[in-house]
Amino acid sequence: MTGLLDIESLARPEIEAILTRSKHFQPAPKQAFKRFTTLQNRTIVNLFFESSTRTRTSFEIAAKRLGAEVLSIAIAASSISKGESLVDTLNTLGAMRPDAIVMRHAASGAPHFLSRYLPIPIVNAGDGTHEHPTQALLDALTILDRRGTLENLRVAIIGDIAHSRVARSNIFLLSKFGVQVVLCGPASLLPREMTAIAPGVELTTNMETAIRDVDVIMMLRVQLERQHEAAFPANEYFRFYGLRPEHIELAKPDVIVMHPGPINRGQEISSEVADSQRSAILNQVENGVAVRMAVLERVLAR
Amino acid sequence: MNKLVIKNGRVVDPAQDLDRVSDVAIEEGTIRQIAPSIDATGAAEFDATGLIVAPGFIDMHVHLREPGFEHAETIETGARAAAAGGFTSVCCMPNTQPVNDSAHVTSYIVDRARRFAAVNVFPIGAITKNSAGEALAAFASMKEAGIIAISDDGKPVMNARVARRAMEFAQALDLPYIEHCEDLHLSAGGDMHEGMESTRLGLRGIPRSSEDVMVARDLILAELTGVRYHVAHISSHHSVEMVEFAKKRGLRVTCEATPHHFVLADRDMAPYDSNYKMKPPLREWPDVGAVKQGLMEGVVDAIATDHAPHAGAEKMQEFERCPFGIIGLETALGLTLEQLYHPGHVDLAHLIRLFTHNPARILSLDRGALRVGGAADVTVFSLDREWTYDVRHSASKSSNTPFHGRKFKGGPVASIVAGQVAWRL
């Protein structure tokens, strides 16, 4: 593994290996995280062309717990538009010879583009509306914590599917494990072609249909910043696609409710649901560190 | 002396049903004689044994980038690339800086071409001022200065009323109206064809409907106005069907296709490689098939490259920030032989017609045939020479092509413009 650009090109055994290793990095209940020296004397650059406190912090903590040096650089989109090209930025960083680059970028495929020119392994921390591979891995780990297996589960992903990199990575990952994935959202945010990108994917615009008998409900954040037009009447969205307690009744009794965060309480998810027993939102955050440790270790393995 | 005899080639000119091994004698820029065994005493000789001798190829859709974008291409370098691709004439689109929307700019291009271009350059004028889609450009004075058609290529005329007025005006002046068919509202923000591939890659789509909607609108307006209407770079199977329908209705409608649209589909794209980014985008296999079928059956009249140079730095960016377009002059013939001739889809006369007689007819150019007394524009090419395209040796200033490293069987050997060898292998 030379880096981690997307879930789509990962084989199932590779995903399984990462998830298995992640469990090793999960702290036992009520215990502190363990510290390791695996990546001592290695330098990781976190390059965030798009702001994200959560993901950046999670990668930073993961790297530090493995003993690596971490340098986080936030590059405002404005300085990019002032003329320095992505290639120049990366050449500059490349000259400093970090051992790996963790990058987030607003353009789909930006890490793929760079990996063609840079010999340093790149971990994709979210690229445009394409993929967010470590999010899908931590989601899978969170499901495994509660279900033990992914096989034969039914998972609903609800919200702005078209613009969601979380949705794409989860679709690719879950499909590799034989999960039935139901995608749900307003028609203009639910591309029909989604059924063709991976096996076992179905679509519905009806929230009740989507949730019926599912094992997992994944809510997506409304990505207003990625919508370039009014794809749906704004005031109708939360009425039809907000997750409320009555929806939970339709799912399996032990349904897991997930959300990549940050959540908009009372909008795509009600507070009652977010804070309920069914919610695994905080477990997701915790698992994020473990999964990213496993990924960094794998990427930097000598 | 200014005499040249092309010896012993297979002379193929579909405009006059000619296909036989002959010599072609050229004097003072015109063709003097086509016959077996012409005495070449006192003339330069070009041995074309085993080669095809055809009327000079015409590319009716190129971007030469001058004036304004000389860092990407100039009239001189673009014309050299044309000659190296077997073209003896190119028609340059008006999206320069300034836009070719006045006789001044047209005259500038004509003058620069006369001084620096190795091939004939026929400018195409803008439809609207600055191609902004509002006020009409000065067609009549541009025509006097040398334009042979009008188009707002790259910035289609979105307002149907403006399009109608332009067509009426063009009809009166007998100027062909060429449209880059794209409804800009439907395609807004898109970077590649909207379909499974764009969904998978998380790139915003340019739906097929954005082309179809404008082709449909324009065909209705073409019928209303009686204009000679031409669809540039057709790429959608629905659009090909609509053009076929319009032709059956007897409209004066024609269309062209680029090699990349009958060679590649969206799924052939190397992920996020901007050398595959152009408008219209690479579509799906049924579209590629329909374009090819259209070329075979005569629904698609001409092959044009839409040669669109962009400097290296412009293409070395995130996919969604890169400009649209690829170069194509040097690979057009090789790709057409590969896709249409070698598999037996078209015969040689048909292939040559797509590059010569048909574009000349669409644009009323006095070219595209090997007539005694006519301009001595000749393309000499091989059907079997094996070669590999190396864009690092391109005559173009730019190197944005998905065909670098592709192997070809057959391709251009010489381009003769007005009796002068503009390029030879």
B383 at A interface, C-beta within 8 A: no
Give the bridge partners for A105, in sequence order: A127
Concatenated DSSP letters for A5-20? --STTS-HHHHHHHHH
Enter the pTM of the model.
0.94
CATH top-level class of A133-280: alpha beta
Q: Give mean pLDDT, residues B281-304.
A: 98
Pick from A185, A221, A160, A107: nearest CA to B202: A107
pLDDT of B252-277, one tens digit each?
999 999 999 999 999 999 999 999 99
Confidence of residue A35 (pLDDT cuts 50, 70, 90): confident
Residues 6+ positions from B371 with CB-CB distance below 8 Å = B15, B16, B31
Residues 6+ positions from B210 with CB-CB distance below 8 Å = B182, B183, B184, B186, B187, B190
Q: Do A85 and B313 touch (CB under 8 A)?
A: yes
Q: Looking at this predicted complex, what is its ipTM?
A: 0.91
Catalytic residue among B273, B306, B384, B390: B306
Q: Please give the structure tokens belonging to residue A297.
A: 């270790």
Confidence check: pLDDT of B405 > 70: yes
pLDDT of B197-239, one tens digit each?
999 999 999 999 999 999 999 999 999 999 999 999 999 999 9
pLDDT of B135-183, one tens digit each?
999 999 999 999 999 999 999 999 999 999 999 999 999 999 999 999 9
Phi, psi of B312 (to 5 degrees): -50, -45
Domain limits, CATH 3.40.50.1370, in chain A: 12-131+285-300, 133-280
Contact (Cβ atoms closer than 8 angstroms) between residue B190 and residue B201: no
Confidence check: pLDDT of A82 > 60: no
- Percentages of chain A per state (helix, strand, coil), in multiples of 5: 40, 15, 40
Mutate to test the interface with B, among A90, A113, A116, A160 (most CBs of B within 10 A): A113
The beta-carbon neighbor of A109 closest among B188, B196, B201 is: B201
pLDDT of A253-285, one tens digit each?
999 999 998 888 888 899 999 999 999 999 999
Contact (Cβ atoms closer than 8 angstroms) between residue B12 and residue B54: yes
A64 three-state secondary structure = helix
Domains and CATH numbers, chain B: 3-52+375-424 (2.30.40.10), 56-362 (3.20.20.140)
A147 three-state secondary structure = helix
Confidence check: pLDDT of B129 > 60: yes
Residue keyed to tokens 């449909």: B216
The overall average pLDDT reported for chain B is 97
Domain A12-131+285-300 has CATH 3.40.50.920: no
Q: Do A113 and B199 touch (CB under 8 A)?
A: no
Q: Please give the structure tokens belonging to residue B168.
A: 């009426």
Instruction: Name the CA dihedral angle for A12, A18, A24, A27, rounded to a multiple of 10 degrees.
Output: -110
Q: Do B202 and A112 touch (CB under 8 A)?
A: no
Q: How far apart are CA B336 and CA B357, in angstroms?
A: 16
Confidence of residue A81 (pLDDT cuts 50, 70, 90): low
Pick from A79, A122, A118, A134: nearest CA to A300: A122
> Cα dist. A170→A105, A194, B83 in Å?
19, 12, 52
Annotated catalytic residue B306: yes
Q: Do B201 and A105 touch (CB under 8 A)?
A: no
> Cα dist. B150→A286, B156, B363 in Å?
63, 12, 10
